[in-house]
Amino acid sequence: MSPIPYGRQHITDEDIAAVAEVLRGPFLTQGPHIVAFESAFATYIGSQYAVAIANGTAALHLCCMALGVKEGTRVITTPITFSASANCVRYCGGEVHFADVDPETALLDINAVRALLEQHPKGYFSGIIPVDFAGYPVDFAAFRQLADEYGLWLLEDACHAPGGSFTDSAGINHRCGDGSLAELAIFSFHPVKHIAAGEGGMITTNDEALYKHLLRLRTHGITNKPNEFTEPYPGEPERGGWYMELQELGYNYRLTDMQAALGASQLQRADAMLARRQEIAKRYDEAFAGTNVTTIVPPANVNHAYHLYVIQVDDRKGLYDFLRTKNIMAQVHYIPVHLMPYYREFGWKPGDFPNAERYYARCLSLPMFPTLTDEEQQYVIESVKEFLIA
């Protein structure tokens, strides 16, 4: 059996043709494919606005800037995530505070967040960054209620969850990143994600002011729109068509037209790829039912996007090593962020978040990508079971 990775991109002839068309055209960056991709993605997600960004980490950084994170700003997030979900706060000089995860879902535990908030006066924290980890949608209706109670903003890290959704207690369905509950949401187009653009990211929102601010921040903080210009200073020469203004410190976080064309091409089959991920997950669920493997099976009101399929076993290291001998490249997602050397410098230590640490000690991500064949998946299942009974 050839090596089976935990995730893999799928590039079609149509994708290649879309990129080749851009290469033959007049724009490689800042061209029409950016706007087209943003519009199509906003329609798919259900948000009013979308802003294409260089990558998911840059998207998180710009969101924190737009939300006013600065030195002294305190933000809560989960320790079970890629470090960028926390690093974005540090980029702006803010303080990162972690809360433990729900042991049943590995998502940020709203009860742990509430307990943290109750330990401090209102106004101590500014925002929360929940993560739709592995593609499991966070209950943002509950988090919205909590955030409003404490005057906080919400930033949804939906990198794992395009196409995911949940139905709230009122029967309203919310798609991940649709802007109905969080001020801002971000997505990633890294090759192993649902939509591959090489690199790339997207910010979605329903807030027009935030949208316009983000457009400026991703391009150095510069505007060339006359209606946004400041008043001329006394004696300033007449302004011509060349005129632009650096209004604040921004970054070059633009996406290229080549990446946008690839992303837009992939977006056209997003529903089919999501359905295949869910089919693969169902086969895993059925295969491991009644075994010593712990799986996370969402309730009926949750439409899991399955960027990852995570199992939990007692001898994770043993299983990881065994699968490698079988050419199955399972992976671990994630080492808790608070245990990383950088964050331990701020006083975080082992034992601070027992649910997150227990999850990490047992978790393993099995191969999950739309082109995983039934034969390959069966081989993975049989290999896991072989280890368990050895």
Catalytic residue among 70, 193, 225, 349: 193
- Nearest Cα to Cα of residue 105 among 277, 281, 310, 288: 310
In the DSSP assignment, the letter for residue 338 is G
DSSP bridge pairs for 173: 167
- For Cα atoms 372, 374, 380, give the angle at the middle one, nearest 5 degrees: 75
- Nearest Cα to Cα of residue 50 among 151, 191, 175, 168: 175
Q: What are the backbone angles phi and psi of residue 202, rounded to the nearest 5°?
A: -145, 140
Question: Is 326 one of the catalytic residues?
Answer: no
- For Cα atoms 286, 291, 293, give the angle at the middle one, nearest 5 degrees: 90
First vs last Cα of the chain: how many Å apart? 21
- Give me the active site residues, please: 193
